[in-house]
Amino acid sequence: MWWWLATPITLSRAPIDPSAKLQCVSYAPFRGDQTPLDPTTHIDVGQIEQDLKQLVQITDCVRTYSIENGLDQVPSVAAKVGLKVIQGIWLGSDRFKNLAQVAVAVDLTKDYPGTITSLVVGNEVLLRGEMTASDLAAIIRSVKAQVAVPVTYADVWEYWLKNREIYDAVDFVTIHILPYWEDFPIRAKFASAHVNSIRQRMAVAFPGKEILIGETGWPSEGRMREGALPSRANQARVVSEILSLAKAQNFRVNLIEAYDQPWKRQLEGTVGGYWGFIDSVHRTLKYPPNQAITNYPLWKWYMGAGMGLSVLVFGAALLTLRRRPWTPRFTSWLGVGIAATSAGMLLGIAADKMYYESYGFGGWLQWGALLAAGIASPLLCANALMSGRGLPTFLDLLGPRNGKTRPLLAILLAFTLAVTALIASETVLGFVFDPRYRDFPFASLTMAVVPFALLLVNRPQTGTRPMAEAVFAGLLTISALYTLYNEGRDNWQSLWTCAVYLLFAFTLWRARVEQIQE
């Protein structure tokens, strides 16, 4: 499986090639916990200089979005290292703040005339609904009267068509085309064709002025949207094809973005933090030239860890038989084999997803707990299968003991079941009420749920259905069916995750509590 998953892709053009520099890339300097959402954040000039010295090796230009948080230092550093700057002015609903941004940007343009090549007055302010088109046009004309460089406005392409009066105010049109974020998401293999189609459509709608693609690219991590899958290989493919198209048809394009920006995950989930082609932690290219591009560079470690877990699951079963000699049924051994194989295959994927999708203490706690449940479940269920014990219930963990002594492993198994049920319920409700930025926990959830389902071969034949398990089963079933409808049939992450939710619901529905004779 890992040989198949880790097979590298080959591209006709290296996405990032120092011998053929990029035209321009979006640049934001924030690292780690640094965020522009905190107005007190100020980036040191040394950090910006370190970044721009790296970027000058692969691009001729950087695009900025603001002059706040220390970004007003970018033009001076860019002039020193030899980069051009498309200077951004961030506009919002605060009129006084807008005037301050404009004043600083105008002064920077006059101070660095050979570095700042153009001004972008506002970024997606119409999309956010923070300003009217007439007010925006007035600010653009005011800025044009004060500077000698071309002035533009940047927004998603649909908002240019909805607000055509902005076209008259700008020197050139800057559009954002993000195939992943389209209302009808575009698959990676069709992304470059989509970009070209929209560019040509905009050229017809707005003749006589240059069309700059101010943002385009693809995320390397995050959840699927219909058939649009974020991955390292897809990001490399999309970037390579768009750059080849730009070279062949001679149009300007600015890639989003230079560095991954962790702070964006607070607004857009996992996918928001991984649009960069340089890793935010190690500051290294995700796909260096002349190196194979694979979604799992550490696949050998993942494969080895998965094999180790499989061996441990079989070891737990054999150890149980040594302590309790009897002849288990064939179905018990089959269950151990399925649990060991599924957990071993998915361990690396689950660990990879936990690393990239955990954000903040709560995120690490949630995904870490689910992965721990995914590792513990096959081990504990192997013991239960070989011992002849059935699926535990929440009463085994939380109910009265009635003088009975419960084995420690049985208590741990019930605890693992409860943790899995709580996280499964939280995530499935998230897909119902707030799904846009949520990740699908298909790998860890499968590792945990499949062994529980296999314990049904040992379930008690008599007993009552617990109320709590029935409620969880109903919640998972209804929510999973809605999620299947809402996410569409092209999203295999959704299909897989919802199938596991339904399997878990069936498992909980079949749980029984042995009746106690009075």
For 82-111, the pLDDT digits (tens) are: 999 999 999 999 999 999 999 999 999 999
Measure the CA angle with vertex 216, ends 200 and 286; round to 5°: 140
- The predicted pLDDT at position 477 comes to 98
Please check whether residue 165 lies inside any domain of the structure: yes
| Residue 123 bridge partners (DSSP) | 154
Within this chain, do residues 241 and 308 fall inside the same structural domain, yes or no? no
Q: Which candidate, 511, 359, 355, 487, places its Cα nearest to that of 420?
A: 511
Comparing C-alpha atoms, which of 283, 304, 235 is closest to residue 9?
235
Given its phi and psi angles, is residue 175 left (phi above 0), alpha (psi -120 to 50 degrees) or beta? Answer: beta
pLDDT at residue 517 greater than cutoff 70:
no
Look at residue 28 and tell me if it is in a domain.
Answer: yes
Residue 302 identity (one-letter amino acid) = Y
Q: How confident is the model at residue 16, as a pLDDT?
A: 81
Mean confidence (pLDDT) of the chain:
93
pLDDT of residue 403: 63
Q: Which domain holds residue 149?
A: 2-273
Taking residues 329-356, what's their average pLDDT?
A: 95
CA atoms of 460 and 393, how far apart (whole Å): 12
User: Are 317 and 236 in a shared domain?
Assistant: no
Tokens of 84: 């051009």
Of 256, 273, 290, at which residue does a domain stop?
A: 273
**Which residues are bridge partners to 253 per DSSP?**
213
Q: What DSSP assignment string belongs to 210-237?
A: -EEEEEE---SSS--BTTB---HHHHHH
Q: Are residues 254 and 361 in the same domain?
A: no
For residues 40 and 185, membership in a common domain is answered with yes
| Distance, CA of 108 to CA of 143 (rounded, Å) | 13
Say if residue 447's pLDDT is above 60: yes
Average pLDDT over every residue of 220-245 = 95
Long-range contacts of 317-322, Cβ-Cβ distance < 8 Å, separation of 24 or more:
317/382, 317/383, 317/385, 317/386, 319/383, 320/382, 320/383, 320/386, 320/387, 321/386
Distances in Å between the alpha carbon of 106 and those of 48, 100, 215, 400? Answer: 21, 10, 23, 73
Same domain, 263 and 404: no
Rounded to whole angstroms, the Cα distance separating 205 from 201 reads 6
Q: How far apart are CA 139 and CA 122, in angstroms?
A: 9
284 in a structural domain:
no
Q: pLDDT for 122-158, tens place per residue?
A: 999 999 999 999 999 999 999 999 999 999 999 999 9
Average pLDDT over residues 247-261: 94
Give the domain CATH number at 263. 3.20.20.80
The answer to the question of residue 286 being in a domain is no
With a cut of 90, say whether residue 515 has pLDDT above it. Answer: no
Residue pLDDT, tens place only, 376-392: 999 999 999 998 888 88
Query: With pLDDT > 70 as the criterion, what percentage of the chain qualifies?
Result: 97
Q: Let me know whether 371 and 430 are in one domain.
A: yes
Check whether 516 has a pLDDT greater than 80: no
Report the alpha-carbon distance of residue 477 to residue 480 in Å, rounded.
5
The per-residue pLDDT for range 256-279, each reduced to its tens digit, is: 999 999 999 999 999 999 999 999
Looking at the fold, whether 363 and 432 belong to one and the same domain comes out as yes
- Please indicate, yes or no, if residue 517 is contained in any of the structural domains: no
- Give the pair of three-digit tokens for residue 266: 């607070």
Q: Are residues 308 and 201 in the same domain?
A: no
H/E stretch holding 61 reads strand 61-63
Boundary residue ending a domain (239, 273, 307): 273
Q: In the prediction, which pLDDT does 9 show?
A: 84
Of 273, 308, 332, the position where a domain reaches its end is 273
Which of 211 and 405 is assigned the larger pLDDT? 211
319 shares its domain with 262: no
**391 occurs within a structural domain:** yes
Q: Residue 150: helix, strand or coil by DSSP?
A: coil
Considering the entire predicted model, what is its pTM? 0.91
Given its phi and psi angles, is residue 250 left (phi above 0), alpha (psi -120 to 50 degrees) or beta?
Answer: left
260 near 279, Cβ under 8 Å?
Answer: yes
Q: What is the DSSP letter of 438?
A: P
CB 443 within 8 A of CB 343: no
For residues 156 and 151, give the distance between their C-alpha atoms in angstroms, rounded to a whole number. Answer: 17
- List, as one string, the DSSP characters of 464-490: B--HHHHHHHHHHHHHHHHHHHHH-TT
* pLDDT given at position 460: 66
Is 468 a domain residue? yes
**Residue-wise over 406-426: b if at least 16 C-beta within 10 A, else e?**
eeebbebbbbbbbbbbebbbe
Report the pLDDT value the prediction gives residue 461, as an integer from 0 to 100.
58
Could you give the CA distance from residue 407 to residue 415 in angstroms, rounded to a whole number?
13
**Residue of 155, 213, 156 lying closest to 182 (CA atoms):** 156
How far is C-alpha 95 from the chain's CA centre? 34
297-328 residue pLDDT tens: 999 999 999 999 999 999 999 999 887 767 77
Residue 341 lies in a domain: yes
Question: Quick check: bond before 257 cis, omega within 30?
Answer: yes
DSSP 8-class letter at 440: P
DSSP assignment of 303-336: HHHHHHHHHHHHHHHHHHHHHS-----HHHHHHH
258 to each of 123, 223, 335, how far by Cα in Å? Answer: 18, 21, 48
**CA 253 – CA 189 distance, rounded (Å):** 19
369 and 323 within one domain: yes
Does residue 33 sit in the same domain as residue 73? yes
pLDDT of 463 higher than 80: no
6-15, 258-267, 343-352: least confident range:
6-15
Q: In the chain, how many domains are there?
A: 2
The predicted structure's pLDDT at residue 218: 97
Q: If we measure between CA atoms, which residue out of 411, 354, 352, 349 comes closest to residue 384?
A: 411
Number of helices (H), then strands (E), in the chain: 18, 8
Residue 185 has a CB neighbour count (10 Å cut-off) of 20
Say if residue 345 is in the same domain as residue 242.
no
